Structure 1
Amino acid sequence: MQNSDIDAGMTPPPLMPKVERQRLHDTVVEHIRRFIVEGVLEPGKKLNERELCETLGISRTPLREALKVLAAEGLIDIEPNRGASVSKMSEAEIRETFELMSGLEAFSGELAAERMTAAELTEIKALHYAMLACRTQNDLAGYYSRNQAIHDKINEAARNSALRQTYVAVNRRLQALRFRSNFQTPKWDRAIHDHDEMLKALEARDGKRLSTILRQHLLDKRDAVLQIQSREDAAAGKLKA
């Protein structure tokens, strides 16, 4: 594998629309973040600026500006004279960050159950059913985007700005791993079950119940991610042997 190239099977679809000049900076950041979340750019992968510029239809200046933003978010590592690569979390970082997120999600749920408006609950229900439709179509990307929207709206409904700021920062580092946690069908179906229970708790305004579900939901994702990483590390070790 050449460090300067994006793997041939992992290149974004050729029909992906080029980035519009309006809101160029934010759009480039969003595109690259999505590449990382969905595994188009894998953890540890060295980024090829020329190929990314061609894929997005941009020059190197906005690309480098976007990479600085993603580096500040902890998604990209930039080393002098070596360029940028996708950050790869250690096992300890994964374990500790998921533990932190489980607490943030649990607190969000407890507050949201008390403070959420009827309109917000209706919106979450709509996202839930759209998410289920994606599951029946085996559309992991569509499922994940709606899944994350649900978690995000629960956090917003907590109406705690300090919690919101911390949640967004921590969650950005975990999004790619949360996406990967659904690679196995049983894990995916377990997540669906959890979301069914979350919705019931929200409808009942049962903050304690929702808090418990969300905490365990995130810890289950932690365990799924660590299991996947352990298998991949073992396979990589056999290849090197």
Structure 2
Amino acid sequence: MTLREAPQSPIHTISKRSLHDQAVEQIRDLIIEGYLEPGQRIDEAALIADLGISRTPFREALRTLAAEGLIEIRPSRGSVVRKLSAEEVKSMLELQAHLESLAGRLACERATDAQIAELLDIHDRMIVLYEARDRLRYYKLNQAFHTQLAEAAGNSALTETQRSLQARLKRIRFIGNRQPDFWEAAVREHTEMANALRERDGKRLAETMARHLTNTWDRVRNVVNSEGR
């Protein structure tokens, strides 16, 4: 059975936009949503057929996802979805908590009014998607919020490090909202972030960002531990 034949598969034939960008986005989404599971070997022939593209843009897409830390390319053995150990996930989330706490404090000091307005607009759109229970689109806006907050901190080293960690944690952050109560709690935390950002309260935003990332580990640990067995 190909992914196209699987129940509720999100895959669709690629057209228009850059073939590379679309392939990256679709394969990334398959990984994030669990259609391609950690440790699973990627069936290149089946995916190429499902996506309706040639081998060249497909292989380029795999290289991009490997750079993001989502897959591992094994010469002569094919590619597999990267499986993160519980220790790796916890350590990355701990570092991300400190980075985003610092980003929150600096953003309140340095961000332009336009940057803050854009962040608040993203938050408002996230709430709309939460109320519609559109989990994947909510997740993507959530990622955009965290990325733009780091950029608003005005520290290029922080932004680069945050972006690298966030790429490797994409699937982990998505499964953090798998249960309704987890998602509801995360939304409450994001509302706290928005309120602190609106008031340029760096201390409060820093504390909320750190707590948000710490709570993410609590929300994903059971899944991560079970996958490592």
How high is the TM-score relative to the length of structure 1?
A: 0.87
Decide whether aligned partners of structure 1 residues 233 and 167 sit closer, same or farther in structure 2, where only a CA change above 3 A counts: closer
Contact 1:53 1:59 in 2 (8 A): yes
- 1:92 Cα offset (Å): 0.7
- 1:19 Cα offset (Å): 3.7
- Look up the SS of the partner of 1:78 in the other structure: strand
- Look up the SS of the partner of 1:84 in the other structure: strand
Bigger mean CA deviation after superposition, 177-186 or 122-131:
122-131
Of 98, 101, 124, the residue aligned with 2:96 is 101
Decide whether aligned partners of structure 1 residues 19 and 48 sit closer, same or farther in structure 2, where only a CA change above 3 A counts: farther
CA offsets 1:185-211 (integer angstroms, 9 cap, x no match): 111011011011101111111111111
Decide whether aligned partners of structure 1 residues 85 and 233 sit closer, same or farther in structure 2, where only a CA change above 3 A counts: closer
Instruction: Give the number of equivalent residue pairs.
Output: 228
Q: Does 1:117 align with 2:115?
A: no
Q: Does 1:9 align with 2:4?
A: no
The one-letter amino acid paired with 1:198 is M
Contact 2:31 2:171 in 1 (8 A): yes
Of 40, 46, 65, the residue aligned with 1:45 is 40
Quote the Cα distance in structure 1 between the aligned partners of 2:156 and 2:72. Answer: 28
Quote the Cα distance in structure 2 between the aligned partners of 1:147 and 1:65. Answer: 26
Decide whether aligned partners of structure 1 residues 41 and 133 sit closer, same or farther in structure 2, where only a CA change above 3 A counts: same
* Equivalent runs, 1:1-241 vs 2, <5 Å: 6=3, 8-9=6-7, 11-13=9-11, 16-20=12-16, 23-230=18-225, 232-233=226-227
Percent identity, aligned pairs only, is 42
Quote the Cα distance in structure 2 between the aligned partners of 1:227 and 1:217. Answer: 17
CA offsets 1:115-169 (integer angstroms, 9 cap, x no match): 1121222222222121111111111012111211211111111111111111111
- 1:75 Cα offset (Å): 0.9
The one-letter amino acid paired with 1:217 is H
- Look up the SS of the partner of 2:137 in the other structure: helix
- 1:102 Cα offset (Å): 0.8
Decide whether aligned partners of structure 1 residues 50 and 11 sit closer, same or farther in structure 2, where only a CA change above 3 A counts: farther
Quote the Cα distance in structure 1 between the aligned partners of 2:134 and 2:64. Answer: 29
How high is the TM-score relative to the length of structure 2?
A: 0.91
- 1:227 Cα offset (Å): 2.0
- 1:69 Cα offset (Å): 2.1
- Look up the SS of the partner of 2:206 in the other structure: helix
- 1:10 Cα offset (Å): 6.2
RMSD: 2.0
- 1:233 Cα offset (Å): 4.7
- 1:28 Cα offset (Å): 2.1
5+ residue gaps, structure 2: none
Runs of 4+ in 1 over 3 A off after TM superposition: none
- Look up the SS of the partner of 2:76 in the other structure: coil
- Look up the SS of the partner of 1:77 in the other structure: strand
Quote the Cα distance in structure 1 between the aligned partners of 2:114 and 2:55. Answer: 43
- 1:47 Cα offset (Å): 0.7
Contact 1:19 1:56 in 2 (8 A): no
CA offsets 1:3-26 (integer angstroms, 9 cap, x no match): xx659336334xx35143x53323
Quote the Cα distance in structure 1 between the aligned partners of 2:224 and 2:88. Answer: 13
5+ residue gaps, structure 1: none
